[in-house]
Amino acid sequence: MNTNDIMALAVEMAGFAGGEVPGDSAIYHAARAVKQVLVGVDIGPAELLLARDLGVDLAIAHHPMGGQAKLRFHEVLWRHADQMIGQGVPAETARQIVGPWAERQRIEASMRNVDHAPSIARLLGLGYMNIHTPLDEIGRRRMAEAIAAAGAEISAEALAVFLKDRFAEFRNAATEIEVRLGDPKRRIGRTVVSHGAGTNGGYQVAKAYFDHGIDTLIYIHCSPGDVSQLKEVYGDRRTLIVTGHIASDSLGINPFLQALTERGLDVRTFSGIIPATV
98-156 pLDDT, tens per residue? 999 999 999 999 999 999 999 999 999 999 999 999 999 999 999 999 999 999 999 99
pLDDT at 278 (0 to 100): 64
Mean of all residue pLDDT scores within the chain: 98
CA torsion sign for 153, 157, 161, 166 is: positive
pLDDT at 254 (0 to 100): 98
Decide whether 3-132+248-270 matches 137-244 in CATH topology: yes
Helical H runs in 15-72? 45-54, 67-71
Residue 155 main-chain phi, psi, to 5 deg:
-80, 165
**Does the pLDDT at position 247 exceed 70?**
yes
4-15 pLDDT, tens per residue? 999 999 999 999
Tell me what the mean pLDDT of segment 27-51 comes to.
98
pLDDT at 17 (0 to 100): 86
Residue 250 CA to residue 196 CA, distance in Å, equals 13
pLDDT at 175 (0 to 100): 98
Q: Which fold has domain 137-244?
A: 3.40.1390
**What are the structural domain ranges in the chain?**
3-132+248-270, 137-244
Q: Which fold has domain 3-132+248-270?
A: 3.40.1390
